[in-house]
A = this chain, B = another copy of it.
Amino acid sequence: MREITADHLPDLARGAAVLGTGGGGDPFVGRLLAEQALKRNGPVTLLGLDEIDDAAFIVPTAFMGAPTVMLEKLPSGDEITGAMRALEELLGRKATHTVSIEAGGLNSMSPFVAAAEAGVPLIDADGMGRAFPELQMLLPTLGGVQASPMALADERGNSVTLRTDGNAWAERLARAATVEMGCSAAVSLYALTGRQAKDHLVPGTLTLCERVGRAIREAREGHEDPVAAASGVLGGRTVFTGKIGDVQRTTTGGFARGTARLTGLDADTGSALELSFQNENLVATRDGEVVVSVPDLICVLDTDSGEPVTTETLRYGLRVSVLGVPCDPRWRTPEGLALAGPGYFGYAHEYVPFRGAEV
């Protein structure tokens, strides 16, 4: 158990955006939202999964939509509390705790808003150990936990609730509502018990985000290599260093989809890397060969500053390092790969588990 104050947020948001693997929202926007909520309501209590009761009633929240849009249509935070309240009302029960469903600059921060405004502790965990674009892509889905009943809310006061025949239908109906709401909405879903959380969530995600964010900052302050520092904490490995050239990006179906082409620098001079993304980085292909692929993490960092670069801010001329990081082992099972492996996203390649640095 710890108290999180506004002082903890910058490291947390930075590290969360690294684990967001290109998605999960903008860390600057996320930090501002959380700061505002903590300023209004005081610190948020962070609890480990081992500190909660099996009977705890946990109501998670997140932002859903295309991050390209959220850069312009800034969330206010009220949508998050609106979605949580709508789900609590539907379930006829108040949350005892909240948690984030994915790591990400926005989606690790907005749960602080939910926790602060509802006055409940936040659990140090998440549902993926990274970010994924579709809402059924949660480890709890593998354990049979239902996304619905779920609620969506927008900044106008519109709210939508869903009861669906499985989590893929929840994604489908929620995505359609999100698109109509202007391609971004707050959601509250996957209400789960303490027991389910212990069985199916990834423990310690927020602490890990903070360690990554702190390592980057301290390396930068000490004139050391911030990318190597992040990689060290995550057990990852740099697969490419280069300059971003062409970026193709479209916002379709409620997602930011596209590709970015990088030309190699330093040791990678003469090589090219292509990144494919759907909100999150999905596949990194070096000179025609897949080097990292979903469900493993592909994290793009500014080479000099170590700041994470989300897919919506990829732009020509940026010098970046691309890290591969092994995913939670549950994603590497046949069921995990069926839910979020390359085949689901329409890629033909076989998944080869990424090997991080020897530790």
| Contact of A180 (CB < 8 Å), options: B90, B158, B176, B181 | B176
A172 CB contact (under 8 Å) in B86, B157, B180: B180
Min CB gap A337→B, angstroms = 26
Chain B residues positioned under 8 Å from A161 (CB to CB): 90, 160-162
Shortest Cβ distance from residue A354 to the other chain B in the assembled complex, whole angstroms: 35
Tell me the smallest distance from the CB of A332 to a CB of chain B, in Å.
31
A164 at the interface (CB under 8 A from B): yes
Q: Is A39 an interface residue (CB 8 A)?
A: no
Q: How many identical subunits does the complex contain? A: 2
A226 to chain B minimum Cβ distance, whole angstroms, is 43
Interface residues on A, range: 20 to 34
- Which residue of B86, B157, B160 is within 8 Å of A173 (Cβ)? B160
A146 to chain B, nearest CB (A): 12
User: Which chain A residues numbered 81 to 121 have a C-beta less than 8 Å away from chain B?
Assistant: 86, 90
In A160-208, the 8 Å CB interface with B consists of: 160-165, 169, 172-173, 176-177, 179-181
Main SS of the interface on chain A?
Answer: mixed
A180's nearest neighbour on chain B, judged by CB, is B176
Chain B contacts of A321 at CB under 8 A?
none
Residues on B with beta carbons closer than 8 Å to the beta carbon of A223: none
Using CB atoms, name the residue of chain B closest to A163.
B159
List of B residues within 8 angstroms of A164 by Cβ: 158-159
Q: Which residues of B contact A180 (CB under 8 A)?
A: 172-173, 176
Task: A169 to B180: give the CA distance in the assembly, Å.
Answer: 9
Nearest residue (CB) in B for A169 is B158
- Name the contact of A177 in the complex, choosing from B156, B173, B181 (C-beta under 8 A): B173
Q: Is the CB of B160 within 8 A of A165?
A: no
**Whole-angstrom distance between the Cβ of A182 and the nearest chain B Cβ:** 11
- With both chains docked as a complex, state the minimum distance between the C-beta of A168 and any C-beta of chain B, in angstroms: 11
Q: How far is the CA of A157 from the CA of B180 in the complex (A)?
A: 23
Residues of B within 8 A of A165 (CB): 156-158
Q: Top 10 closest A-B pairs, CB basis?
A: A176-B176, A161-B161, A176-B180, A156-B165, A159-B163, A158-B164, A157-B165, A172-B180, A160-B162, A158-B165
